[in-house]
Structure 1
């Protein structure tokens, strides 16, 4: 018996997932160094997996949300957006940075049937690659264009990249791991319910 690829969720489940992910980003992006770390990178990876068919408009929507959150938080601190430490011309590179996370999740969804060890291995590889590329754009954009870095050098950039890579990877992997566990639990519950329905037929 062949296993058919998992069918994409209908509009209502997708809309629910989008809403939950948006709320997660709102709740955690307000302070990148809070006790509850920023989930933005993971949000885009998870969204790429669940909302792959909505990429054309869901990705821009989440990008706009991220920008609005940043603007509101910075203005609430009493300074202009462009005067903030973290803002530079390289901030525009957050678009390809976050799309790298989205693409990683979307590639994981491609051909996805159900959670298994092969999918886990693929997911780990894609997450590692996505975070590497995302960090390349996000960190590189800041390092090479921000006035905060007085004398940027290739060695300084590499050191800064390495210094922040593991913390960002750890945070992103934690959120994605929780989402994966929820996905597995949902699939198992679905299988149990389907088995009961088959018995009652």
Structure 2
């Protein structure tokens, strides 16, 4: 019995709530044990695409993605306004801010693609996961970073490709490491859940009928 995807709506709702909670806590940048917590949002959208894909291609995308997107904007609004600042005039909010939708969507689609094509707990699946994460993460990074650089009034003029490429290089690895770390934690939890489910299924099969 190969359990690789969430099967019931109850399971999907449970995972959605867990992912939403992690994103809320880390996006607010709370301090736990006197250490800053890196934002897990990018990893959350990738993992959500994998776990909440559903039976149809757009099943999870119809409800989970919009809710997570709305949560991200709401958290940003609460954090910024909570500091006594105007949300719409904040450094991070510009025309580029709305490019977070296609940016996060690329991560969701990367996770969804992996869910469709993975082959269970095999080395081949690990390779596919690495490729899916790198491709979708890079697309997200280019969209979010590029839109901010070229569209935000916070970036001083003149703008040029050389400066943009330098900026891309400065933040590429730190952002990738954070996302990969959270996705790695999610992968470990996924494997543990499958192993537990296998054990429970095997124990049930041994029961007298």
TM-score range, shorter chain: over 0.9
Give unmatched runs, 5+ long, in structure 2: 55-59
Q: CA RMSD in A?
A: 1.9
C-alpha displacement of 1:200: 2.6
Question: Contact between 2:119 and 2:125, CA under 8 Å: does it hold in 1?
Answer: no
Alignment of 1:72-111 (within 5 A): 72-111=78-117
Q: In terms of mean alpha carbon deviation, does 156-165 or 29-38 score higher? A: 29-38
* Correspondence for 1:19 among 17, 20, 35: 17
Q: Secondary structure at the match of 1:115?
A: coil
C-alpha displacement of 1:166: 0.8
C-alpha displacement of 1:112: 3.5
Give unmatched runs, 5+ long, in structure 1: none
Q: 1:32 to 1:172 in 2, by over 3 A?
A: farther
Q: 1:127 to 1:32 in 2, by over 3 A?
A: farther
Q: Secondary structure at the match of 2:84?
A: coil
| 1:69-121 deviation digits (Å, cap 9, x = unpaired) | 10111001111112211111111110000001100100010044522211100
Q: Secondary structure at the match of 2:120?
A: coil
Report the equivalent of 2:196. Answer: 189
Alignment of 1:163-178 (within 5 A): 163-178=170-185
What is the TM-score normalised by the length of structure 1? 0.93
Question: Contact between 2:4 and 2:194, CA under 8 Å: does it hold in 1?
Answer: no
C-alpha displacement of 1:6: 4.5
- What is the number of equivalent residue pairs in this alignment? 199
Report the equivalent of 2:49. Answer: 48
C-alpha displacement of 1:148: 1.9
C-alpha displacement of 1:5: 7.7
Inter-partner Cα distance in structure 2 for 1:4 and 1:115: 8
Q: Secondary structure at the match of 1:52?
A: coil
C-alpha displacement of 1:7: 5.8
Inter-partner Cα distance in structure 1 for 2:175 and 2:4: 30
Q: Structure 1: which 4+ aligned runs deviate by more than 6 Å? A: none
Inter-partner Cα distance in structure 1 for 2:69 and 2:149: 21
Inter-partner Cα distance in structure 2 for 1:119 and 1:100: 20
Report the equivalent of 1:139. Answer: 145
Inter-partner Cα distance in structure 2 for 1:4 and 1:21: 23
Inter-partner Cα distance in structure 1 for 2:138 and 2:95: 21
